[in-house]
Structure 1
Amino acid sequence: MKRKIFFLTIISFIFIFSISLLIYAQDAQIEGENLNVRSGPGTDYDVISKVNPPEQYPVLEESGEWSKIDLGDYQGWIHKDYFSVIENTETENDDKVTTSESEDEDENSNNVERDDNNNAPLTRAAEDNKSMDNILAGKKIVLDPGHGGRDVGAIGTSGGFESNYTLKTAQVLLELLEEHGADVYLTRKNNQYVPLTSRTTHANLLQADVYLSIHYNSTPELTEVRGIDTYYLSERDKQLAEYVHGGIINETEMNDRGIEQRDLHVLRVNHRPSLLLELGFISNESEERNIQSRAYLEAMSRGIVTGLEQFFR
């Protein structure tokens, strides 16, 4: 009798475990525009975010007509009427970056894996820094790598995609900010398309202390153009723009194209201190080579960190 109970217990455990694996092997492909993501399985729960087609998110669990999805830094519930289920055959460690002949995309794929590790709980070094009297300790910084997925952005002289450069830049900047004790969030962690509305919603819901949209410029008809631009919208953010822009220029010695007030979507609908950074021209051959260099990205990141420290002081 005991042996029978033992075997039944083992079989039940395997069955439950198999169901869990099945759920995690599914993705929800969003079909409803501005679909509400709620804190629980029902319309009585608060809206914590919005998602849009053709975004896909891992399904974590189900409750009646609702499914819980993983949005990266947090989780929420969506109604089954507004998404379709896609079987996900990738392993948990696959980075989902599409294969390309470009060496830049191969490098980006490796960096995505490193980014997944960096978004785990803070390392011991980062925890130590948070406990120190550091102006950035505990500050919520949202980094928004521009473009992604089907939206590759500008294309450089080498054929590299802006979407890859922005993600790699965000990953390097994330590392340095976390070393200074900041709590850093990425609007995308891989080669994923994320609508503009979702990017700003992320910052607003987190009540971020600063939102930085990361981009690279391009003027293929004027390949000699180079330099750094920084855009802000609200007057409250002008000083932030001055500090961050000045920090980048001081560290990189790049051509200074100045700061400018501009009505851009990610700044207009953002209720948090926010900037859009154009960190160089990938249509300029020498500038694109700089952008492909880890040393340059580290210098640029140091400049941004310096600017943020001045702003929060």
Structure 2
Amino acid sequence: MKRKIFFLTIISFIFIFSISLLIYAKDAKIEGENLNVRNGPGTEYDVITKVNPPEQYPVLEESGEWAKIDLGDKQGWIHQDYSSIIEDTEPSQESEKEVEDDLAESGSDNEISDNKEQGDNSTDPNTDAIENNKGIDNSLVGKKIALDPGHGGRDVGAIGDSGGFESNYTLKTAQVLREKLEAHGADVFLTRSNKQYVPLTSRTTHANLLQADVFLSIHYNSTPELPEVRGIDTYYLSERDHQLAEYVHGGIINETDMNDRGIEQRDLHVLRVNHRPSLLLELGFISNETEERNIQSRAYLEAMSRGILMGLEQYFR
């Protein structure tokens, strides 16, 4: 009898886990202008808001010709005649290629100002494994790292001095960081791999279901009214993660020589509902002309990624 209960428990867990993984397996790409979002699957239900192309939202469920979508702060139903359902189980290779091309174009012409001098190998994503072996070991091998490029889709985040979107910068940063981590044996997962919108709850659910060893939410700061402000901030919530914050923050400062704005305990959504060791990183001010120019440089992203990698190596030793 006990064995039967045990097996039923295991099967139930697997079923629930599988359903959870599939919650955001599809996206609805909006194709109709001012498309009504209703509080039920039918025209008899009230309109709660409107959406427009080319916005894209996770699909929670489908009922006939209707799809329930997650808008972040609310949920509602849209008619599928005015949207297309996109399977979202594989990373967007095209988007990742676009990111790599953008970095290649910007990285060759931009220098790192106010940062440490970079060696000849600073733009080679695989040089970490052979550079002096300082602080580098096998502690990242097999570790699950969830990278969360902040914002995306209709949520562009902060807007830089040049007009660049934070959501694009965070995605580029995550792609470069992933290269570094994977070169050291980590299993890296991105909460978004293209320019789509992903609700905050989905991001943390992704990390929790993966049982990620570390979750890093990547952001950039902006204070247009104070364009001279610059530097790196690192936020954590649980005291459990204070040491992780110190290692990662220290690594970034050491490798980039950026202005150190410190480590702070803060109640942020992606940290509060996250059951995994987690940090939110503000990796510079895109409202500062010099820092935004640095962020557009592949060399700077390489240096920042080395710092994060070295901090994680320390944490896992």
Normalised by the size of structure 1, how large is the TM-score? 0.65
Asked if residue 231 in structure 1 is aligned to residue 204 in structure 2, the reply is no
Asked if residue 142 in structure 1 is aligned to residue 141 in structure 2, the reply is no
Name the SS for the 2:287 alignment partner: coil
1:49 positional shift = 5.4
1:52 positional shift = 10
Q: Check the 8 A contact 1:203/1:270 in 2, yes or no.
A: yes
Measured in 2, the distance between the counterparts of 1:303 and 1:201 equals: 27
1:48 positional shift = 3.1
Q: Check the 8 A contact 1:211/1:275 in 2, yes or no.
A: yes
Residue of structure 1 aligned with 2:291, choices 273, 287, 291: 287
Asked if residue 48 in structure 1 is aligned to residue 41 in structure 2, the reply is no
* Structure 1 vs Structure 2 CA RMSD: 3.5
1:108 positional shift = 3.4
Classify 1:177/1:79 alpha carbon distance in 2 versus 1 (closer, same or farther; 3 Å): same
Superposed counterparts of 1:201-212, under 5 Å: 201-212=205-216
Measured in 2, the distance between the counterparts of 1:232 and 1:154 equals: 21
- 1:192 maps to 196
Superimposed CA distance per residue, residues 260-293 of structure 1 (whole angstroms, 9 cap, x where no aligned partner): 0000000000000000000000000001010000
Q: Check the 8 A contact 1:39/1:77 in 2, yes or no.
A: no
Superimposed CA distance per residue, residues 133-157 of structure 1 (whole angstroms, 9 cap, x where no aligned partner): 6100000000000000111000101
Residue of structure 2 aligned with 1:108, choices 99, 104, 123: 99
Measured in 2, the distance between the counterparts of 1:79 and 1:202 equals: 21
Q: Check the 8 A contact 1:215/1:277 in 2, yes or no.
A: yes
Report the residue type matching 1:154 in the other structure: A
Asked if residue 251 in structure 1 is aligned to residue 242 in structure 2, the reply is no
Classify 1:94/1:240 alpha carbon distance in 2 versus 1 (closer, same or farther; 3 Å): closer
Structure 2 unaligned blocks of 5 or more = 1-12, 31-58, 68-79, 104-125, 131-135
Measured in 2, the distance between the counterparts of 1:94 and 1:135 equals: 29
Report the residue type matching 1:153 in the other structure: G
Q: Which deviates the most, 278-287 or 80-89?
A: 80-89
Measured in 1, the distance between the counterparts of 2:150 and 2:22 equals: 19
- Structure of higher RCO (CA pairs closer than 8 Å, 6+ residues apart): 2
Name the count of aligned residue pairs: 230
Asked if residue 219 in structure 1 is aligned to residue 210 in structure 2, the reply is no
Q: Check the 8 A contact 1:165/1:291 in 2, yes or no.
A: yes
Superimposed CA distance per residue, residues 105-143 of structure 1 (whole angstroms, 9 cap, x where no aligned partner): x9637369xxxxxxxxxxxx9xx99xx961000000000
- 1:312 maps to 316
Asked if residue 174 in structure 1 is aligned to residue 184 in structure 2, the reply is no
Measured in 2, the distance between the counterparts of 1:303 and 1:96 equals: 25
1:44 positional shift = 11
Q: Check the 8 A contact 2:228/2:288 in 1, yes or no.
A: yes
Name the SS for the 1:47 alignment partner: helix
Classify 1:55/1:262 alpha carbon distance in 2 versus 1 (closer, same or farther; 3 Å): farther
Measured in 2, the distance between the counterparts of 1:156 and 1:140 equals: 32
Measured in 2, the distance between the counterparts of 1:185 and 1:45 equals: 17
Normalised by the size of structure 2, how large is the TM-score? 0.65
Classify 1:276/1:170 alpha carbon distance in 2 versus 1 (closer, same or farther; 3 Å): same
% identity of equivalent residues: 72
Q: Check the 8 A contact 1:144/1:211 in 2, yes or no.
A: yes
- 2:246 maps to 242
Measured in 1, the distance between the counterparts of 2:21 and 2:169 equals: 30
Asked if residue 269 in structure 1 is aligned to residue 273 in structure 2, the reply is yes
1:77 positional shift = 9.6
Measured in 2, the distance between the counterparts of 1:301 and 1:268 equals: 25
Superimposed CA distance per residue, residues 147-172 of structure 1 (whole angstroms, 9 cap, x where no aligned partner): 00111000101110000000000000
Superposed counterparts of 1:81-100, under 5 Å: 83=67, 84=80, 86-87=83-84, 95=94
